[in-house]
Structure 1
Amino acid sequence: MLALAGIIDGINRAIASVLRWFALLMVLVQFGIVVGRYVFGVNSIWVQESVLYLHATLFMLAAGYTLLVDKHVRVDIFYAKAAPATRRWIDMAGHLFLLLPSMAALLWWSWPSVRNSWKILEGPISVGGIEAVFLLKSLIPVFCVLVALQSIAILLRLVAGEEPA
């Protein structure tokens, strides 16, 4: 069980190590857009949309890693002052009854839109934009899978009596 959890952790760590460069690239592209527009009077919808694509990719694919390192939003009304055993039960219940069903529902309800987008190779959001909305929509199921896998890894550690990585 713990070996599987380690593999899942490794996947999300590897993805995060690549995605951290997306943040820098996004800042540089946005800076280029501002300089291009206000200094040189040049504008490109394609370049502007690239910031949206980078942002979406960064946040959708890094969500599993965020869960791994426990930097996600936590509503800790009871959790902060609870005993470790109570925290374990709260974590297990949250993963089993809230997070995993939410990821399953999001995957289920988004899949037709993603499938249809791929069928027609859905084009740009704006005229002159990036002709790959189908790739942007594909981030939704990948997000669901990465977060669900990380949730399973955390559950495996909780069941084994180990603290999540």
Structure 2
Amino acid sequence: MSKNTNRAPAPPRAVATLIAMLDALTEGVGKTVSWLAPLMVLVTCAVVLLRYGLGEGSVALQESVTYMHSALFLLGAGYALKHQRHVRVDIFYRRFRPQGRAWADALGGLVFLLPLAVFIGWISLDFVGNAWRIREVSTDSGGLPWVYWLKTFIPLLALTLSLQAVAEVLRELLFLMGYRRQEVPHAD
């Protein structure tokens, strides 16, 4: 394991390009779904005002908040990983040197995160496929007719999280091999 300094060589162009592309995809998806947070607040306020101010309810409007919430959290998971905002058991990690953190991140991605993401994607395929086959709709009268789209967020979580996990693992492996990289900010 070599020391990573400013004099370390640049990583191979193809790998650096792949990491940059995966990061850009994650960034785009994350920034896009982030707009759902203020929209959820507005729609929730509208639901409350309609219900308690006008005595009117809208099941579809209420369910739309569930759809937005699902999209925000499931499609934003890769973005959270990219920006080190995911859940981490920090008992030892925060005391590690950069190489120790790189080992923990690379092994954690390879041994835990990627297999879990692939497993989630795999087991969700029948669940989502059945929903699409029957064009599943809300069980509530007046609810949204797109439950199959809502369930599609599960394999999309697996895909986007897997892609960002690949970028993170590659980034850490390059660092461990002695290539230059910018230090990824870690929550302390």
Encode CA deviations 1:74-126: one digit per residue, 9 max, x unaligned: 11111111122111111111000000000111111111000111111111142
Cross-structure match for 1:57 = 71
Seen in structure 2, the aligned counterparts of structure 1 residues 44 and 53 have a Cα distance that, compared at 3 Å, is: same
Aligned match for 1:31, one of 23, 26, 45: 45
The structure with the largest alpha-carbon Rg is 2
Give the superposition deviation at 1:164.
Answer: 4.5
Greater fraction helix: 1
1:150 aligns with one of 154, 159, 164: 164
Percent sequence identity is 39
Aligned to 2:26, the other structure's residue is in SS state helix
- Give the TM-score of the pair, scaled to structure 1: 0.96
Question: What are the equivalent positions in structure 2 for 1:98-109 lying under 5 Å apart?
Answer: 98-109=112-123
Letter in 2 for 1:150: Q
- 1:97 is matched with 111
Query: Is contact 1:154–1:164 with CA below 8 Å preserved after alignment?
Result: no
Residue number in structure 1 paired with 2:90: 76
Correspondence for 1:14 among 4, 8, 28: 28
Write the letter of the residue equivalent to 2:112: L
CA–CA distance in structure 1, aligned partners of residues 30 and 108 of structure 2: 24
> After the TM superposition, which of the residue ranges 34-43 and 155-164 deviates more from structure 2?
155-164
Mapped to 2, the partners of 1:125 and 1:102 lie a distance apart of 30
* Letter aligned with residue 49 of structure 1: E
CA contact (8 A) 1:158 1:164 kept: no
* Mapped contact 1:53–1:136 kept (Cα < 8 A): yes
d(CA) in 2 for partners of 1:88 and 1:32? 46
- What's the TM-score once normalised by structure 2's chain length? 0.85
4+ aligned runs moved over 2 Å, structure 1: 162-165
Cα separation, 2, equivalents of 1:98 and 1:107? 14
Q: Kindly tell me the number of residue pairs found equivalent between the two proteins.
A: 165
Q: Which runs of 5+ in 2 are unaligned?
A: 1-14, 176-180
